[in-house]
Chain A
């Protein structure tokens, strides 16, 4: 019953090339000194596109009144409460024997024990929709993006776990620690029922140790396989023995430690771990005591902080880590991470406030993942959604956008394997893996669709309203200002002046050479919003935005 290990072991062979040294002339030597340069819309948009899903104009304007340091601190210290848990938005099956009639539609299922396969697949679907809704409605903080990162980092496949309640609870565990202590998160996720199920921890016992979790704990969650990581196969075997005895109670959905299944021998580790011996324990506390020893031993290694910081770097900055970046960014950030005993916030604050993060060379080079593309565009276009109480409409629409992320290559909480999304580890392409001959046309179809018709559920239409978007800009009657301002939100890389001129003339001016034709059309619409006047501006704005979304520049953040 080691299928996961077998499959992922095969799939991951290609990636274990050490990450580093691909020196390109265009990389930079800047480090983690605090950035003291300009704090303008440019910098705010850069920061928001990396730490949230899209840079909404309202958020950009809000942070213009703050300093860079205040902005980063605010993003890292969310105050909004966590969203209410997912609800039963599906219909109770009328098949006899499908037993979740005890929960009313519109109320949450997360505390209801139910092992029916149909019910659990409905709950998983409900959870995915809810997760998507949380991203769309994210508060002004890094929380939802960190959550997506950490869920991906632990690489569990909801479909494999099967039980939607367990999947939800794993999410909740991560959410509670999303800006907390990484070391304690790893400790707790080791005992998480979904993780025990996914990486076979529940099968791991003294008489038949299962190495699956122990291996990924070192290889994926803490140490990695880089040159600074020298743990041995025997270390994996010994760690597996430490982790014996944990099980899942499937009638209470709780973690159980069964001391009779625990290996009570002493566990001896290699010289990489200074030949540490974890004393074998017995009794009810044995599992926790040994786990604590194991986590302490692993986190005592310098490499843990470096490996994790590299993961963050690839998620928030860029995928290429050359020698200068390793020395000037990864190493000092790892020092901060370690010296704060693996608290996430100090390390993240240092990263997002650094010269390196705001370095021109690190701007506009992040290929959007599907969530950035789909959710980001919904947010940047100020797309209206139904009120929360209209849960049937909301969940139905969230499902549409969840499905679009799947279509374009990202299934939330369901990565291809325990390594997470290949774009964040697969050498040498990394983020470029998001864009291919299948995904790129679909991305364009999505934005085309959102501009032209959008989606309707229960009579509520969700679409990109280009006219309303234009109204949020400061001077939409001037075609140059309109384009500049829209692009400052949507793009990170400026278009050539002649390209902008061409787009303006051909689309906004319908081939005319004078700007005032647009100005007059807009003014006519504002002063007299008849259907005809609306259509004149809407037709041109739709074409303009569709064009913006279809240019390659839109795929970068």
Chain B
């Protein structure tokens, strides 16, 4: 399974709304349909990497990215007990109207180097103020009122690497598709049927993996057996060897800040990227942003809890970017921060801020078009407790742009990775420098020779599929017009090239078009087979 079955696998029957059914499935596909086009496409050959930094808790974006134009007085009035003094706001290169929090000197220098971008007021319609629900929305890319059980990055990876984890690792993709530093893989990397990511519980786990040690266990029989199982566990992590090898290639890294948990995670990410892993997506996180109270020290609002959090983020990103440059891989990496929501414009009386809506995001990397996208949010002169920052950019457009302009997917494919009521509104935004996708090998054009045929066609109960493999892993999926893989008659490694035939039994299937999708190396072909009544 299963490219393109976002639709069918992500929404359980009980939750399907009638219009969703219409939007998704009741279509007749022909050879030019996006479904068939997508099925025919190979894996995009790119060495680009995306690093996703999650700021858990709902980051107060308004104290991170601050207006320094005429809007400042409204900003100050709305939250005088937490507001950053105007003269303490750090200016950022090329942006006259807006600055960043006093402590974010690291990010400030990335702006100066032309490697950072802020996107103002990112959100989505009908924002949800629950941490859990809002996080699920951000990770899945769903609408506010929609339940989607796969992640946006998971669907992307599933598109590029169908059938994962069956048959992986492969020669072409020997490495994890995505790596999460944290206890478990998240919804972000959840594909339609399998999670596309692996997790590294914490930095200690990572260093244990590299050194081949396990966590200490008591000197009891239970401890003895636990150590034994842990050792086997470590040895059998599917990707432990490739990770170990990649990490061991890097013996020197640029300095990272100490006592910075995000920096610890990014240091590992930099090591794995520069060590040569082909992993496309890394996910790290840092928490504590749920600053309902004592967000700042009242004596000096540029210090305190939120300032510490932002300094941690800024210092870690700066060190990471410097390290990528030191390793010579910075042109391959783009990073992004997000939080499940921003906070209210008006502060509360406990020198804190409550759950809000849209908030700014940062992008960083040498291929980022530096500066600011959007404008300072409109802040009312007399902000009330219910006032929220209106959305300027839909977060799904950020994802879509990264998929299109960084992972170099065709726009129609990008659209197909989002629910239909979302994908009609996705924007392609100016986030990356022009040409980020040049030099990327697009999937090879469809071979004009017929590599897969069937006879008879149309057929009534059964037909014979004939295919020509170049050897190596060969996959044939039978896909119905809903995009569901209904059978996988071939998933085999062939020692050498050759032409083979297999019978296909269509007994019991409704009549209609079925697509036999052939995949071998970088080649894909789709054969439309028509089942008719006797």
Judging by beta carbons under 8 Å apart, are A511 and B287 in contact? yes
- Whether A512 lies near B131 (C-beta < 8 A) is yes
A522 → chain B closest CB, angstroms: 10
A477 to B219, CA, bound (A): 35
Which of A492, A513, A517 is close to B222, meaning CB atoms less than 8 Å apart?
A: A492
Beyond A539-B136, A552-B230, whether A26 also contacts B287 by CB under 8 A is no
Flag the segment in A200-208, A388-396, A500-508 that touches B: A500-508
Residues A365 and B220 in contact, CB atoms below 8 Å apart: yes
A512 touches B57 (CB 8 A): yes
Chain B residues with CB under 8 A of A512 = 56-57, 131, 287, 290
Q: Which residue of A lies closest to B185 (CB)?
A: A543
Check if B287 sits within 8 Å of A556, measured CB to CB: no
One of B232-240, B427-435, B460-468 at the interface: B232-240
B136 contacts A536, CB within 8 Å? yes
Q: Please tell me which one of the listed residues B130, B149, B232 contacts residue A435 in the complex, with CB atoms under 8 A apart.
A: B232
| Cβ distance B25 to chain A, nearest Cβ, rounded Å | 19
- A514 CB to closest chain B CB (Å) equals 7
A550 CB → nearest B CB, Å:
8
| In the complex, B226 has a CB within 8 A of chain A | yes
Is the beta-carbon distance between A365 and B183 smaller than 8 angstroms? no
Q: Chain A's nearest CB lies how many Å from the CB of B121? A: 22
Q: Which of A473-528 contact B (CB under 8 A)?
A: 492-493, 502-503, 505-507, 510-514, 517, 520-521
Of A360, A503, A555, which contacts B183 at CB under 8 A?
A503
A-B contact count (CB 8 A): 109
Indicate whether A506 sits within 8 Å of B221 (C-beta atoms), given known contacts A435-B229, A511-B54, A556-B229: no
Given contacts A365-B221, A539-B187, contact A532 B133 (CB under 8 A): yes
A552, B229: Cβ atoms under 8 Å? yes
Kindly report which residue of chain B lies nearest to residue A436, judged by CB atoms: B232
Q: Does A210 lie at the interface of the complex (its beta carbon under 8 Å from any beta carbon of B)?
A: no
Within 8 A of A (CB), among B261-309: 285, 287-288, 290
Whether B202 is near chain A, meaning CB under 8 Å from some CB there, is yes
Q: Is the CB of B132 within 8 A of A521?
A: yes
Whether B221 pairs with A546 at a CB distance below 8 angstroms is: no
Structural contact, A513 and B287, CB atoms closer than 8 A: yes
Q: Which residues of A contact B184 (CB under 8 A)?
A: 506-507, 543, 546-547
Contact B220 A505 (CB under 8 A): no
B225 sits at the interface (CB 8 A): yes
Q: Is B487 interfacial (CB 8 A cutoff)?
A: no
Residue of A26, A318, A540, A553 near B226 (CB, 8 A) is A553
User: Does B455 reach chain A (CB closer than 8 Å)?
Assistant: no
Complex-state Cα separation, A25 to B233, whole angstroms? 26
Q: Report the separation of the CA atoms of residues A553 and B233 in the bound assembly, to the nearest whole angstrom.
A: 11
Which of chain B's residues have a CB closer than 8 A to the CB of A314? none
Write the chain B residue with the least CB distance to A531: B15
Let me know if A552 and B226 touch, CB within 8 A.
yes
Considering the chains assembled together, what is the distance between the CA atoms of A218 and B99 in angstroms?
87
How distant is B283 from chain A, measured CB to nearest CB, in Å? 11
Query: Interface size on B (CB < 8 Å)?
Result: 39
Residue A406, interface by CB 8 Å = no
Would you call A437 and B236 a contact (CB within 8 A)? Answer: yes
A420 near B: Cβ within 8 Å?
A: no
B135 contacts chain A at the CB level, 8 A cutoff? yes
Pick the residue among A437, A506, A514, A517 that contacts B182 (CB under 8 A). Answer: A506
CB of A380 within 8 Å of the partner chain: no
Q: What separation, in Å, do the CA atoms of A367 and B222 have in the docked complex?
A: 9
Counting CB contacts under 8 A, is B88 at the interface? no
Q: Which B115-143 residues have C-beta < 8 A from chain A?
A: 130-133, 135-136
> What 0/1 pattern do residues 182 to 203 of B give for CB contact below 8 A with A?
1110010000000000000110
Which of B56, B132, B226 is the most central at the interface, judged by chain A CB atoms within 10 Å of its CB? Answer: B132
Give A461 Cβ to nearest chain B Cβ, in Å. Answer: 12
Question: How many residues of A sit at the interface, in one of the four size bands?
Answer: 35 or more
Given contacts A510-B131, A513-B57, whether A505 and B225 have CB atoms under 8 Å apart is no
In chain B between 27 and 74, which residues have their CB closer than 8 angstroms to a CB of chain A? 54, 56-57
Complex Cα gap A493–B228 (Å): 14
B187 to A, closest residue via Cβ: A539
From A27, A505, A517, A546, B132 is in contact (CB under 8 Å) with A517
- State whether B183 touches A25 (Cβ < 8 A): no
Interface string of B209-231 (1 = CB under 8 A from A): 00000000001111111101110
Tell me if B14 is interfacial: C-beta within 8 Å of chain A: yes
CA distance A431 to B147 in the complex (A): 45
Q: Which of A348-378 contact B (CB under 8 A)?
A: 360-367
> How distant is A129 from chain B, measured CB to nearest CB, in Å?
26
Contacts of A503 in B (CB 8 A): 183
* Residue of B54, B56, B135, B226 with most partner-chain A CB within 10 A: B226
Mask of B238-252 contacts with A, CB within 8 angstroms, 1/0? 100000000000000
- CB-based contact A493/B222 at 8 Å: yes
Q: Which of A513, A531, A539 has the most CB of B within 10 A?
A: A539
A303 and B224 CA atoms in complex are apart in Å by 30
Given contacts A320-B221, A440-B232, A513-B290, contact A493 B132 (CB under 8 A): no
On whether the beta carbons of A432 and B228 are closer than 8 Å, the reply is: yes
- Chain A nearest CB from B131 CB (Å) reads 5
Give the complex CA separation of A68 and B285 in angstroms. Answer: 48
Query: Which residues of chain B come closer than 8 Å to A365, judged between CB atoms?
Result: 220-222, 224-225
A137 at the interface (CB under 8 A from B): no
> Which A residues are in CB contact (< 8 Å) with B219?
25-26
Whether A26 and B221, one on each chain, are in contact in the complex, defined by CB atoms closer than 8 angstroms, is yes
Residues in B whose Cβ lies below 8 Å from that of A436 = 232
Q: How far is the CA of A427 from the CA of B133 in the complex (A)?
A: 53
B57-A511 in contact (CB<8A): yes
Q: Closest residue to B58 on the A side, CB-wise? A: A512
Cα–Cα, bound, A360→B220 (Å): 9
Taking a contact as CB atoms under 8 Å apart, the answer to whether A27 and B221 are in contact is yes
Using A517-B132, A539-B136 as known contacts, say yes or no to A510 and B236 having CB atoms under 8 A apart. Answer: no
In the bound complex, how far is the Cα of B332 from the Cα of A341, in angstroms? Answer: 77
Shortest beta-carbon distance, A25 to chain B, in Å? 7
Does A176 have its Cβ within 8 Å of any Cβ on chain B? no
Question: Roughly how many angstroms separate A365 CA and B228 CA in the complex, as a whole number?
Answer: 11
Looking at the assembled complex, report how far the CB atom of B135 sits from the nearest CB atom of chain A, in whole angstroms: 5
A535: CB under 8 A from chain B?
yes
- Given A432-B228, A503-B183, A511-B56, the answer on whether A318 and B221 have CB atoms closer than 8 Å is yes
Residues from chain B with a CB closer than 8 A to the CB of A362 are 221
Nearest-Cβ distance from residue A296 to partner chain B, whole angstroms = 38
Chain A to chain B: the 4 pairs with minimum beta-carbon distance, closest first: A511-B56, A365-B221, A364-B222, A552-B229
- Between A and B, 15 residue pairs with Cβ closer than 8 Å are A361-B220, A367-B225, A367-B229, A432-B228, A437-B232, A440-B236, A493-B226, A505-B287, A511-B285, A513-B287, A513-B290, A531-B15, A535-B147, A547-B183, A556-B226
Given A365-B224, A543-B184, 19 new contacts (CB under 8 A): A361-B221, A362-B221, A363-B222, A365-B221, A365-B225, A432-B225, A435-B229, A435-B232, A437-B232, A492-B222, A503-B183, A506-B183, A507-B184, A511-B135, A517-B131, A517-B132, A535-B149, A539-B187, A553-B226
- Please report A residues at the B interface, Cβ cutoff 8 Å: 25-27, 318, 320, 360-367, 431-432, 435-437, 440-441, 492-493, 502-503, 505-507, 510-514, 517, 520-521, 531-532, 535-536, 539-540, 543, 546-547, 552-553, 555-556
